[in-house]
Amino acid sequence: MNTFKNKKQYKRIVGPLIALVAILVTSCFEPSGTVFTKVPAPDYSGVRIDLSTASDTIFIDQPTLLYVNTETGSRKVFSIVLYLNDTVVYNDYSTFWIEPRSHAKGPQPLRLVMTMATGDGSLADKVGVSSVEVTHNYVAVIDASPMTPKITAFDSTGGTMTVRWEKYERSDFQHYTLYKMCSSNGYSFDDCQEIQINSRGQNFWNDVDYVGGAVRYRVNVTATHELYGQIRSYYWILETRYTLDGKRPVLHWSKLLYYSNAKNIVVNYGASTLGVSDTLYTDATDLGGGEIRSDHITITSAVSSQNYSFNIESYRGKLFFNRALPYRYNPAAKVYYSFNGYMQVLDDSLELVTTGIPPWLSMSAGGTHLITGGYDGSVITMREIDPVTLETAGTIYQGASVANSYSGVSDNGIVVLSKYPNNYGLQLPDYHVVFQANGRTSGMAISPAGTYLMSNDSIYKFNGSVYQGWMNISPGNDYSLFIDDNTLITISPGGLMKRIVAGAKNTSSFNLDNVFPYSLEYDPVSQRLLIWTNTGAVIVNPENGNVVVRFSYYCHLVNGKVFFSEYSGSSFIWLPYSEFE
């Protein structure tokens, strides 16, 4: 145990041990060494970026999709951006969509910029932070002006008709062609004039021939392609009335709007020729004898004329009117509807309230819904209209179910119509389908409150959301209508009339001798049916099928009045239905 006796000696080893520790700590290996790699300059000779265009000047006159073609070798593409006048163009990966209406017109710098990896193999390249931009500059010639010019105005300044349309601004203009379509009845039109205009700046035409009536125009543009414009309709009609000067009728009419186009006014088939500024004519005839006679105004121009008829009548000493024959009465608005080329709205005293173009009308029994259909340019539409102004008053419907024929509308807003090969029930205001079945294009009917619907020899009942089959009726009817919400009347060739009480599923049949129906109407005031036949009109009691009266001429039974027209529908007289019972 003498080993540790000499502590002094052991102290001598402390210093070396400390030195050993110090050496260990300070002599650690330190990694070192650098190697610089020279990277060769990249070769971009094969790199390119192009748009799918034939040249670097791109004409964009309609929404255009541009495709991008790139050649980058193995280099990664980080982004491709197209700048149109320094504004980023919307892109979808490798395609760009340019809407010319969103950009200024004229030449614009179009810059296609691709950001891609340098591809030189450097460290920055390998980690994807080394990039180079490749730019291809183009010029985009923007032209957002309309392709097909729209007719913008019908101008009567100076007493002549000026048709104005949008100027065609594009560079490929060759000429305008204006087509004028004339009508003798207000609803069928034929081309009557074709004018070629070679000056781009002449985007108007003076129709020195138009003196009034319904007319349509369309402007086409011949450019790179033939561009077809939309048809615009226009009408102006002479407002007429009469007064009595003693026993002599005095004809009044409104001042001519297109007076410069008019040559003169001819009254009563040439009985008198007046100046274009004249607005009245006093007939020499004494009406005291109660005879019926006609008067007629013709506005003539140098090359055409427009006729307006006055029928001044003293039939049975009742009333004289110069309106077209009323055929429907709207109990809600208390107005009559008549049609003689133009739709006319007459008030309860049969004075004219409104004149409008719509040629077709379907009214619910209570008058709460009026539906009309027609053309807006080339698109077939269906719309609700105001009962008095005839202006659009509801949702315009354009779609696949627009009808081949319209059969009616109920007071709760269900339109029934046919579009081959189906019959439909569409509920307003959104026209959603509540009925659809294969069927004929005639013979549909809907009850006034919409409870029942008839289609293709079957009656369907509304369950609140759709129509469901209710009862079948024997086939063969040509015309049908609900006289109330529960009772259906059908008329067949040969005069077989059925009265079907839908709620009771009860059918009664009546023979109408010598009645070959053309149409079927019902007047809820007189509670009688009016049927047009091949020889005239008959009034029938729907309760028992009895023919109340036969007429050798055509008439309408509306609001308890029988309206007659003996002069081509241009005037009428009326008598109360009670006189015929």
Partner 1 sequence: MKSGLFFTLVLLWMVPEAVSGQEFFLLGGISQQAMGDMKRLQQNAAINGPVQLQSTQRFPAYLQFSGGGLWRIPGDNKVGFRIFGTSTGARNYYEDYSGYIVEDYQLVNIGLTGRIEHLLILKKKSELSVFGEVGESFTRLKYDAAIRIGTSSDASVQKFKSKNLVGNLGVAYRYHLTERFFLMGTVGYEIDWAGKLSDSHGNNIYVNTTPVAAGWSGIKLLGGIGFRLRD
Q: Which residues bind partner 1 (CB under 8 A)?
A: 1-4, 6, 9-10, 12-13, 16-17, 19-20, 23-24, 27-39, 121-127, 129-130
Q: Is omega for the bond preceding 100 within 30 degrees of 0, making it cis?
A: no
Least separation in angstroms between residue 15's CB and partner 1 is 10
Nearer to partner 1, 5 or 225 (CB): 5
Q: At 115, list the tokens.
A: 């950001």
Nearer to partner 1, 129 or 501 (CB): 129
What b/e sequence results for 295-325 when a residue is b if at least 16 CB atoms lie within 10 Å of its CB, and e otherwise?
bbbbbbbeebbbbbbbbbbbbeeeebbbbbb
Dihedral angle at the C-alpha atoms of 126, 129, 132, 133, nearest 10 degrees?
Answer: 140
Nearer to partner 1, 21 or 501 (CB): 21
Name the nearest CA neighbour of 72 among 119, 106, 37.
119
Contacts of 374-381 with C-beta under 8 Å, sequence gap 24+, read 375/231, 377/230, 377/231, 378/230, 378/231
DSSP 322-384: -SPPEEEEETTTTEEEEESSSEEEE-TT--EEEEE-----EE-TTSS-EEEEEEETTEEEEEE
Least separation in angstroms between residue 11's CB and partner 1 is 11
Q: How many residues does the chain have?
A: 581
Phi, psi of 405 (to 5 degrees): -150, 145
Q: Which residues contact 492 (CB under 8 A, 6 or more apart)?
A: 476, 477, 478, 498, 517
Least separation in angstroms between residue 117's CB and partner 1 is 12
Least separation in angstroms between residue 16's CB and partner 1 is 5
Least separation in angstroms between residue 103's CB and partner 1 is 38
Nearer to partner 1, 16 or 270 (CB): 16
Burial of 140 from C-beta contacts in 10 A (0-12 / 13-18 / 19+): buried
Least separation in angstroms between residue 88's CB and partner 1 is 27
- Residue at 186: amino acid letter: G
Nearer to partner 1, 55 or 74 (CB): 74
Strands 131-142 and 175-182: unpaired
Tell me the C-alpha distance between 489 and 541, whole Å: 11
Q: How many CB atoms lie within 10 A of CB 560?
A: 16
Nearer to partner 1, 131 or 423 (CB): 131
Burial of 561 from C-beta contacts in 10 A (0-12 / 13-18 / 19+): buried
Tell me the C-alpha distance between 375 and 178, whole Å: 19
Least separation in angstroms between residue 42's CB and partner 1 is 12
Nearer to partner 1, 8 or 225 (CB): 8
Nearer to partner 1, 120 or 143 (CB): 120
Nearer to partner 1, 13 or 302 (CB): 13
Least separation in angstroms between residue 223's CB and partner 1 is 55
DSSP 259-287: TTTEEEEEETTTTEEE-TT--EEE----G
Nearer to partner 1, 35 or 400 (CB): 35
Q: How many CB atoms lie within 10 A of CB 218?
A: 21
Contacts of 560-568 with C-beta under 8 Å, sequence gap 24+, read 560/523, 560/525, 560/526, 563/325, 563/326, 563/327, 564/315, 564/325, 565/324, 565/325, 566/292, 567/294, 567/309, 567/311, 568/309
Least separation in angstroms between residue 75's CB and partner 1 is 15
Least separation in angstroms between residue 46's CB and partner 1 is 22
Q: At 233, list the tokens.
A: 């309709």
Q: At 414, list the tokens.
A: 């269900």
Q: At 432, list the tokens.
A: 């959603």
Nearer to partner 1, 20 or 271 (CB): 20
Residue with structure tokens 């009895």?
A: 546
> Is the distance from CB of 451 to CB of 461 less than 8 angstroms?
yes
> Is the distance from CB of 354 to CB of 344 less than 8 angstroms?
yes
Least separation in angstroms between residue 73's CB and partner 1 is 19
Least separation in angstroms between residue 5's CB and partner 1 is 10
Nearer to partner 1, 32 or 157 (CB): 32
Nearer to partner 1, 6 or 224 (CB): 6
> Is the distance from CB of 358 to CB of 374 less than 8 angstroms?
yes
Least separation in angstroms between residue 28's CB and partner 1 is 4
Least separation in angstroms between residue 41's CB and partner 1 is 10
Nearer to partner 1, 39 or 153 (CB): 39
Q: How far is CA 12 from CA 5, 15, 21, 22, in A?
A: 14, 6, 16, 17
Least separation in angstroms between residue 122's CB and partner 1 is 4
Nearer to partner 1, 20 or 284 (CB): 20
Strands 131-142 and 106-117: antiparallel
